[in-house]
Amino acid sequence: MYYNNIQTPVLIKTGKNILNDLDSILASAHLYFPHKILVTQENLYETYHEKLDGNHFDNVIFCRGGEFAEASELIPQVQDADAVLIAFGGGSVLDIVKYVASRLNMAFITVPSALSNDAIYSSVARLTVNRKKKSFNVQLPLGVILDLAVLKTAPRALLLAGAGDLITNISAVEDWTLATEINGETSNGLAMMLSKQAALSIWNFSANDLYTDNFLSALGHGLLTSGLSMNIAGSTRACSGSEHMISHAIDEYFPDKATMHGLQVAWAFREIERQIRKNDDMLEMVEEFYDRIGLTAVISEYIPWKSEDLMMLIPYALKIRKRFTVLNTVKL
């Protein structure tokens, strides 16, 4: 018929100091598995072991995270276990667990320790191969558990990177709209709506709010909604446009000058508004938001690129993937 069937997470739980309640959270969602394996980084386990030990794990596996090569070390450790994997850590831990679980068709749940990008619920894992970040298609997590007490310990720059990844949904939706208008592509109104609403959910916050429960919940739920919008769209289109192509081009062609994904896309979004889209109202709103939330300062601290470098990066971005965006309208 004319309806879409959408895969959605079976468990979303947000709360404070819930890291020691993982067992009861799974039980109350009626999720029962013969075994449960925690995959995390050793230093994170040391920090949180008292809370984590309040749960039953059949095995605790330490990983470094982020490197594709590590998958071949992790797969033999989990492949014969009839288990759910609990991935606890930052984006690099979540991404390697997503990849390993997908390769083995195992269920997994993400418990992020930071909200630096939409890795918490997305069907893409970014892993380093030969010093360069590559994207891998992966299965979605069964659920996401957000412990606000843990997320509150994240460095400020990581939180702002998460805000950057989320706010740039606006740019991705602009690009998708353009592609439907002048390139005849099909759109998905529901995916676009969710992506944009997710971004707007953090629009009114300021730097002083970063460590509040309200902001952390909004950021976490916004990143989750972003993942859902990509799932509905069946591609990353809803949350990844020209600004992501610039960021991926930096990762691919200038890995020595690459930094956090969320900061790179935020920088690219602002420069694309300034130099290509030239929508004064949007630019004013973006600049005001960046100033108020603290992105302007953290971008100048972490991003080595100058405004004029954008044009130089465009040909590299166009090589990254065949996706029509505002970059295709630039006369080079």
Q: Which residues bind Zn ion (CB under 5 A)?
A: 165
Task: Please report the DSSP string for 153-171 in residue order.
Answer: TS-HHHHHHHHHHHHTHHH
Phi, psi of 61 (to 5 degrees): -115, 130
Shortest CB 163 distance to Zn ion, Å? 12
Phi, psi of 153 (to 5 degrees): -90, -5
Shortest CB 197 distance to Zn ion, Å? 17
Shortest CB 262 distance to Zn ion, Å? 7
- In angstroms, the CA 239 to CA 234 distance is 12
Torsional sign, CA 157, 159, 167, 191:
positive
Shortest CB 8 distance to Zn ion, Å? 20
Contact between 199 and 222 under an 8 Å Cβ cutoff? The reply is yes
Name the residue nearer to Zn ion (CB basis): 19 or 327.
327
Name the residue nearer to Zn ion (CB basis): 22 or 167.
167
Name the residue nearer to Zn ion (CB basis): 95 or 165.
165
Partners of 145 in beta bridges: 13
Question: Which residues lie below 8 Å from residue 126, measured CB to CB, with a gap of 6+?
Answer: 91, 95, 119, 133, 134, 135, 136, 261
Name the residue nearer to Zn ion (CB basis): 142 or 166.
166
Residue nearest to Zn ion (CB): 165
Name the residue nearer to Zn ion (CB basis): 147 or 165.
165
Shortest CB 210 distance to Zn ion, Å? 19
C-alpha torsion angle, residues 53, 218, 211, 45 (rounded to 10)? 20
- In angstroms, the CA 246 to CA 299 distance is 15
Shortest CB 28 distance to Zn ion, Å? 31
Name the residue nearer to Zn ion (CB basis): 165 or 251.
165
Phi, psi of 219 (to 5 degrees): -65, -45
